[in-house]
């Protein structure tokens, strides 16, 4: 069974969500603080980590940063804070997704399954021979090799940023809506489209000379995004 680590300081939420996850077929580990959660993940690594932001002592943002320094484990934030600034900060800290409380367990389970599928696809791609390279002027995207280069220099991107870039690169010049990207990159039939916007913004900082006037990763107002030379 897939193991999930839940880091949540509210006893009632922690217990109820842990029981609900187990009803969905997951093995559930829990921690009431970030410090306990980090120790638990080192002792008994889970397949996915769920993190609240408002934790006593070390907050959720720092917990995510420390988890990300040590591991590539998928991280989902579960928080009552729905401000765009908090969502951006959590994703920039290294989270893969953001779910706003109160949590619908069926929705959370669907997102966990989507993350699992993405991990399996990534693992399969890692064993495939490198072949395909998408070129957009000075930008190169190599899905099989897991590389992004700008003017020949490797560009460090997160797994989610890389999947997003590969999806756009596979459809050069074609506009993909936020909903399409949520479905194809995150595996969600529904969700907060701001997650897409945040990742696009982060990619622009890495692949554009002037992210205020992007040349490659372009917004088509009212429609979505496209990748072009």
| CATH class in words for 129-227 | mainly alpha
Instruction: Give the domain 2-120 fold.
Output: Rossmann fold (3.40.50)
Select from 225, 194, 169, 9 the least CA-distant residue to 84. 194
Output the six-digit token pair for 123.
């693992």
DSSP letter at 44 equals S
Residues written for the chain: 229
Q: CATH 1.10.10.10: which residues of the chain?
A: 129-227
Residue pair 209/215 in contact (Cβ under 8 Å)? The answer is yes
Tens-digit pLDDT string for the chain (229 aa): 689 999 999 999 999 999 999 999 999 999 999 999 999 999 999 999 999 999 999 999 999 999 998 888 989 999 999 888 898 889 888 898 899 999 888 888 888 888 777 665 555 444 444 458 999 999 999 998 889 999 999 999 888 889 999 999 999 999 999 999 998 888 776 677 888 998 899 899 999 999 889 999 999 999 999 999 8
First and final C-alpha spacing in the chain: 44
Cis peptide before 88 (omega within 30 of 0): no
DSSP letter at 130 equals P
């Amino acid at each position: 069974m897939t193991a999930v680590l839940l880091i949540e300081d509210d006893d009632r939420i922690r217990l109820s969500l842990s029981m609900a996850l187990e009803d969905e077929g997951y093995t559930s580990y829990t921690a009431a603080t970030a410090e306990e959660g980090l120790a638990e993940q080192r002792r008994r690594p889970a397949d996915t980590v769920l993190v609240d932001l408002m934790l006593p002592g070390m907050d959720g943002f720092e917990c995510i940063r420390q988890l990300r320094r040590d591991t590539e484990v998928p991280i989902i934030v579960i928080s009552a804070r729905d401000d765009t600034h908090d969502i951006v900060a959590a994703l920039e800290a290294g989270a893969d997704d953001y779910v706003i409380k109160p949590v619908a367990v069926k929705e959370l389970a669907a997102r966990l399954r989507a993350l699992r599928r993405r991990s399996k696809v990534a693992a399969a791609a890692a064993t495939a021979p490198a072949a395909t390279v998408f070129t957009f002027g000075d930008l190169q995207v190599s899905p099989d090799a897991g590389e992004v280069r700008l003017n020949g220099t490797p560009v460090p991107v997160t797994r989610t940023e890389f999947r997003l870039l590969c999806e756009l690169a596979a459809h050069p010049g074609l506009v993909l809506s936020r909903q399409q990207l949520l479905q194809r990159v995150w595996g969600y039939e529904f969700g907060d489209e701001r997650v897409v916007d945040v990742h696009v913004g982060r990619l622009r900082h890495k692949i554009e000379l002037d992210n205020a006037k992007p040349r490659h990763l372009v917004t088509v107002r009212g429609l979505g995004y496209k990748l072009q030379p």
